[in-house]
Structure 1
Amino acid sequence: MIEYCPVSAGVEAVGDRWTLLVLRELFLGASRFNDLHRGLPGMSRTLLAARLRRMQAHGLLTRETDRDGRPAYRLTEAGAALEPLVWQLGDWARRWFFGDPRPEQLDAGWLLWRLRQFVRSDELPARRVVVEFVLRAGPVAGTDERGWLVLAPGDASACRRHPGYDVDVWVDGDAVELHRVVAGRAGLGQAMRGGLVRISGDPGLAAGFPRWFAWRGEGGGSSEA
């Protein structure tokens, strides 16, 4: 027997891990296959392609061609309506079911990609700004990781290699704490006051850095967090 129940129908449409995570990436602004895949490091390209087809069949998204002639995925009205559910699930997990990152979950590439997705374009300076991140992994020499964000009006890039521009702002911090901040488990201001994260460089830009991102979870990026 297939029960006549809206909860059952909803679970059929979105009730698996990968569908919800693909939705998360779409809500964060990804639309092309490679960008979706970059935000889902544990998902194979084959599985992602299959899941996108399934989501199309359920009416959650459409596959279109963008201005450059490349395929792009867009949420339908039904898919977009799931956004509160996805973020509420994250808020619930953050409160009841979410701990500190395990060593295997520390990934500078993931962290930079998430921050790129969190950029608030309306809060950025009117010129290109380069931010260098140093993630301190512990006392063992050679374990620190570096990465860069290049932020410009209308564009944001995450780089694992030096982008070739002068650095304007440095973010130096404990790798675990920076992951906690980006995941919404800790506030940036709290991490700075505790000495776990330090922001330096051009004084005006360094002071404005917390406002450049749509931080999630308690505390956010406020210096008062």
Structure 2
Amino acid sequence: MTEPASHCPANKAADMLGDKWVLLVLRAMILGATRYSDFTAAIPRISPSVLSGRLKQMCENGLILKRGEAGQQATYRLTPSGRDAQPIVAMLSEWGLKWAKRNTQVDQIDVGATMWDFHRTLQLSELPDGETVFAFTLNDIDRHNRWWIVASQGTVDLCDSDPGKPVDLYVNGPLCTMIEIWRGESELESALRSEEILLTGEPMVADSAKHWFPMSPIVRAKAAGMDLTAMSLGATPS
């Protein structure tokens, strides 16, 4: 028997958005995810059945729109309703930055999801025209510690194996420090001065790191004095 709908808008909103997987899918889409493979990279712990179920549910609730069918590389887009949920995701992220436990052990962190966030939050406008290739070495972990990001003004690709392209900048440092910088808990300039993070390669790209280095859109927006209740998190082009 179908449960009767509530007359209360807050209850209805909770039915649509009050699920962690729905919120994580929305967050991934705000950061540029459009395909099934994007969601599995951004949310590695979600099972295929749960992801498929949530995407279907979100389509039915009018939060997203699906283009294409199974086997046709279906893509998903935010509807006006989904776009209007961006400030909700932004406020939850701000709350999490302030109150959620921060001292997560590095061996508990999903490296793939973290690097997915990093590659979606590079500031492309601060990079030179054409293609810029970064090679990351995460020196505080033993597995999955080499990553490449290939960035241009139109696309950003994340690779866990060498793409065979000339590298413009090598970034070497602890994953935990890079996460702290991304979350606004540490300053990149301090990590560079102490040589905790080393940048080797093209001097112009290295010298402008404070402008392009990955950072949470929430932290960047707060630093710019933006109102999170009216902001769009934006996304790196894909």
Same-fold call, TM > 0.5? Answer: yes
The alignment status of 1:70 with 2:48, answered yes or no, reads: no
The alignment status of 1:137 with 2:140, answered yes or no, reads: yes
How far apart, CA to CA, are the structure 2 residues paired with 1:53 and 1:3?
Answer: 21
More strand by share: 1
Match of 2:232 in 1: none
Unaligned stretches of 5+ in structure 2? 224-238
How far apart, CA to CA, are the structure 2 residues paired with 1:98 and 1:192?
Answer: 26
Checking the alignment, whether the CA contact within 8 Å between 1:171 and 1:198 is kept in structure 2 is yes
How far apart, CA to CA, are the structure 1 residues paired with 2:82 and 2:5?
Answer: 24
Checking the alignment, whether the CA contact within 8 Å between 2:183 and 2:219 is kept in structure 1 is no
Checking the alignment, whether the CA contact within 8 Å between 2:106 and 2:175 is kept in structure 1 is no
- Structure 1 length normalisation: TM-score? 0.85
How far apart, CA to CA, are the structure 1 residues paired with 2:219 and 2:189?
Answer: 11
Match of 1:160 in 2: 160
The alignment status of 1:34 with 2:34, answered yes or no, reads: no
One-letter code aligned to 1:122 = S
The alignment status of 1:121 with 2:106, answered yes or no, reads: no
Runs of at least 4 residues of structure 1 off by over 4 A?
Answer: 217-220
Task: Tell me which of 17, 22, 26 is aligned to 1:19.
Answer: 22
How far apart, CA to CA, are the structure 2 residues paired with 1:144 and 1:22?
Answer: 24
How far apart, CA to CA, are the structure 1 residues paired with 2:52 and 2:143?
Answer: 35
One-letter code aligned to 1:48 = L
CA 190–30 in structure 1, closer or farther in 2 if over 3 Å, else same: same
Quote the sequence identity (%). 29
One-letter code aligned to 1:130 = V
Secondary structure in 1 matching 2:46? coil
Checking the alignment, whether the CA contact within 8 Å between 1:61 and 1:76 is kept in structure 2 is yes
Match of 1:89 in 2: 92
The alignment status of 1:177 with 2:171, answered yes or no, reads: no
Match of 2:205 in 1: 205
Deviation by residue 1:173-198 (Cα, 9 ceiling, x = unmatched): 11211122234443323433443222
CA 190–7 in structure 1, closer or farther in 2 if over 3 Å, else same: farther
Checking the alignment, whether the CA contact within 8 Å between 1:173 and 1:197 is kept in structure 2 is yes
Checking the alignment, whether the CA contact within 8 Å between 2:35 and 2:74 is kept in structure 1 is yes
RMSD (CA atoms): 2.5
Q: Return 10-19 or 205-214, whichever deviates more.
A: 205-214
Cα offset for 1:219? Answer: 7.2
CA 83–144 in structure 1, closer or farther in 2 if over 3 Å, else same: closer
Checking the alignment, whether the CA contact within 8 Å between 1:60 and 1:75 is kept in structure 2 is yes
Cα offset for 1:127? Answer: 2.4
Cα offset for 1:213? Answer: 4.8
Report the count of equivalent residues.
216
CA 2–62 in structure 1, closer or farther in 2 if over 3 Å, else same: closer
CA 46–184 in structure 1, closer or farther in 2 if over 3 Å, else same: farther
How far apart, CA to CA, are the structure 2 residues paired with 1:144 and 1:159?
Answer: 11
- Structure 2 length normalisation: TM-score? 0.80
Which structure is richer in relative contact order (CA contacts within 8 A, separation 6 or more)? Answer: 2
Checking the alignment, whether the CA contact within 8 Å between 2:41 and 2:112 is kept in structure 1 is no
Deviation by residue 1:75-134 (Cα, 9 ceiling, x = unmatched): 110110010110111111111123133233334322321122113333321122211111
CA 88–137 in structure 1, closer or farther in 2 if over 3 Å, else same: same
Q: Return 120-129 or 161-170, whichever deviates more.
A: 120-129
